[in-house]
Amino acid sequence: MEWKKHQIFLAEHFLQRPELKSGEDRFSILRNGNRGGMAAHLFFYPLAGERALRFSVSANAAPGTAPECFGAIVNWLDPKEKMLARDYLHRKGDESFERVLPVPAGAAAFSLELFSRWTSDDVVFSKPDVESAEWKSRPVRLVTTKVNPPQGSSREENLKLIAGLLERIGTEVEKPDLILLPENLNTRNAVLSAAERVQSADGEYFHLLSRFVRKWKTWLVTTFAEIQDGECFNTALLIGRDGTLEGKYRKVHLTLSESEAGFLPGDSFPVFELDFGRIGIATCWDNWFPESVRMLRLNGAEIVLFPLAGDGEPLHWEHVWRTRAMDNGVYLAASVSQGESGIPVPARVIRPDGSVCAETTENPGYAVADLDLSERFLTYWLSVGPALGEGPSLYQMERRVECYHPSAEIQGKESNTHERG
């Protein structure tokens, strides 16, 4: 597509105005060492019935220029050139921005805004390109579960309970893509010694799950007490549709009781690429720390799986679970046994806007959520108003990474406070 008009935008209150130059498909914002507000090249395009567009542009900035200080924005306009919605293009590597976007209802035109802000560094954009594209749905059928074995059960009874639920899901749910089971369900509420609770990643629990996964051709995630080379971990298994082990996540935030039982923590938040999208795992106590889901989102997760034993605080499972999904723009699926509140804790699937799309309190029971990972969650205003903005994108593109590190002085004060306590 060809742009029809080129304009320059400069924020008010510049002490030293930058130079904006254009020529031969290169568009520069030259600051000459002077830090200042927003400056941008804007290119205006008419729409002619396109349903989706692919955008790309290259950008060259000085090494060390903060990522939020330059980029590209699409401004969608109605027939009267009123702003309808605004979308950032997303980074691809260090020197380009790309994104496929659906055309919003009512849009008659758009502008592509190439900007720099808050920096004294020069930025040169080149090769802005817009072309018609296809907007594809990305369906996922996710099944989460609630299972709380009776107190005093045995490992054999738990495995029988799990097998019965998986058989039920396989026969009642058409083509599930992903099944999530609660934390350490194979030994939950069983009377076992520490040595009887642990097993290797290819132990009896894995082989039971693998058999059902192969039968129903689904992905499955759950956790168990793993022993490897004499060390113990609370480990989540990702089992592929063919029954093979595709990945592991070791719980980063261990409870005090887990530490006292001799477990070691994991040290990373891996994200796994499945045939329908990218998932990450936060196990039980992990989810009480906002950094867990934030790191998974920064690593690319679209769905966060949250297997847990229980949550005894209704205020937490009613509000914090939703907040984790909303703050990070991810789907969050929780699979639970039970808390101690006396109120049945639901297994839930929560959308990026915080709404619950599936839940169950049946024990044993399951809930099915049909998701579309291409669905957009738009909110009026946010940082782009008066217009619609997409939180899951904005929360990533407008982060101020350099401001999020605690100072040595604050760390020292916290350390002294703990010592006095």
pLDDT tens-digit map of 298-352: 999 999 999 999 998 899 999 999 999 999 999 999 999 987 667 899 999 999 9
Is it the case that residue 417 has pLDDT exceeding 90? no
Q: Do 5-135+377-403 and 139-372 agree at the fold level?
A: no
pLDDT at 407: 67
Per-residue model confidence (pLDDT) at position 194:
85
Options 3.30.460.80, 3.90.1300.10, 3.60.110.10, 3.30.2130.10; CATH of 139-372:
3.60.110.10
Residue 415: pLDDT over 50: no
Q: Give backbone dihedrals phi and psi of 383, rounded to 5 degrees, phi first.
A: -95, -5
Q: What is the pLDDT of residues 271-294, one digit of tens each?
A: 999 999 999 999 999 999 999 999
What pTM did the predictor assign?
0.94
Domain ranges of the chain: 5-135+377-403, 139-372
Contact 280, 305 (CB under 8 A): yes
Please confirm whether the linkage preceding 386 is cis (ω < 30° from 0): yes
Name which of 163, 301, 155 is nearest 220 in CA terms.
163
Q: Mean pLDDT for the chain?
A: 94
pLDDT of residue 411: 53
Residue 208: per-residue pLDDT: 98
Encode pLDDT of 175-229 as tens digits: 999 999 999 999 999 999 888 999 999 999 999 999 999 999 999 999 999 999 9
- Give 230's contacts (C-beta < 8 A, 6+ positions apart): none
Taking the C-alpha atoms of residue 255 and residue 260, their distance in angstroms, rounded to an integer, is: 9
What value does the mean pLDDT take over residues 354-377?
97
**Cβ count within 10 A of residue 220:** 23
- Reply yes or no on whether the pLDDT at 374 is more than 60: yes
Which residues have C-beta within 8 Å of that of residue 228, sequence separation ≥ 6? Answer: 200, 201
Q: Which residues of 71-101 are buried (b: 16+ CB within 10 A; e: fewer)?
A: bbbbbbbeeeeebbbbbbbbbeeeebbbbbb
Residue 251: predicted pLDDT: 98
Give the Å distances, CA to CA, from 204 to 156, 167, 257: 10, 17, 25
> How many angstroms separate the most distant Cα atoms in the chain?
76
Q: Top-level CATH class of 5-135+377-403?
A: mainly beta
